[in-house]
Amino acid sequence: MTPLEPFGARLRRAMDERGPLCVGIDPHASLLADWGLSDDIAGLERFTHTVVEALADRVAVLKPQSAFFERFGSRGIAVLERAVADARAAGALVLMDAKRGDIGSTMAAYAATYLAPSSPLFSDAVTVSPYLGYGSLRPALDLARESGTGVFVLALTSNPEGAEVQHAVRADGATVAATMLDHLRAENAAEAAAGAMGSYGAVVGATLGGSAGAAGAELSIDGPLLAPGIGAQGATAADLPKVFGAAVRDVVPNVSRGVLRHGPDVAALRESAARFAGEVQEAVTASGPAAH
């Protein structure tokens, strides 16, 4: 199979054409209930199909949360496999939110699950956890480069508990978060030198306010920044330039409940996603000249 165009280039084009927005597919029990669906395979399948049908042909990125499918066992994974294939066929980039992290052959197996073109769960990118050491991610980083896919590394997450690890200061005076961002900047150097967005991204919460700076972190990594926290968690599109500064044009804001609560009405889901995308685009445009 011919390798894909690098993920960063594909993501930039999708954001330019469809607006800079990532919508989560998070079929947790309470949301299924809100949609009037049962918390079983039938409900999961109906929910997932509706979200993909409503949004895959118009948003830049869809982000299924693997855990909500895994809880149903093999039948849930089958629903996830179909969702990934259908979403990609409709033109959305699929970011698998799996947050995997391990060492050696185990990390290589996780990487192959999501980033190998032969896998039933082959996605455009995957989230990973670096807290067994950044070097433990090497199998995923290398496979992403080989297959034209992307990796999003947890760096400055929006949950308050994350600070005890991510803000910790190393012996050299750098925080753990800043170190992860430095690593990613280095991974993206070749694509940046060619004037393109890199394929190695970081997860940085849109709810952080000034705490990113407090962590000593330079957020620009010449690659994408996945920003959870827009909508239900309290952040707004207008907050993005304040949090991300000059890196705001590389931000991929993630909205889940803020859009999904409008289901199961397909038109309402589409209208909500379009509104969020428009608000983000307006905030980014107002922030200054384009990057990359």
Q: How many residues does the chain have?
A: 292
List the catalytic residue out of 28, 99, 138, 167. Answer: 99
State the angle between helix axes of 138-147 and 104-115 in degrees (0 to 180), rounded to the nearest 10.
Answer: 30
- Is beta strand 225-228 parallel, antiparallel or unpaired with respect to 251-255? parallel
**Quick check: helix, strand or coil at residue 61?**
strand
Nearest to 252 by CA among 20, 95, 55: 20
For every residue of 170-225, DSSP letters joined together read PTTS-BHHHHHHHHHHHHTHHHHHTTS--SEEEEE-TT-TTHHHHTT-----SS-E
Give the whole-angstrom CA distance, residue 260 versus residue 272: 9
Please give the radius of gyration of the chain, using alpha carbons only, rounded to the nearest integer. Answer: 18
State the angle between helix axes of 41-55 and 73-89 in degrees (0 to 180), rounded to the nearest 10.
Answer: 10
Catalytic-residue membership of 242: no
Strand partners, 96: 126
What token pair was written down for 58? 């118009």
Give the whole-angstrom CA distance, residue 253 versus residue 37: 28
| Active site residue ranges | 99
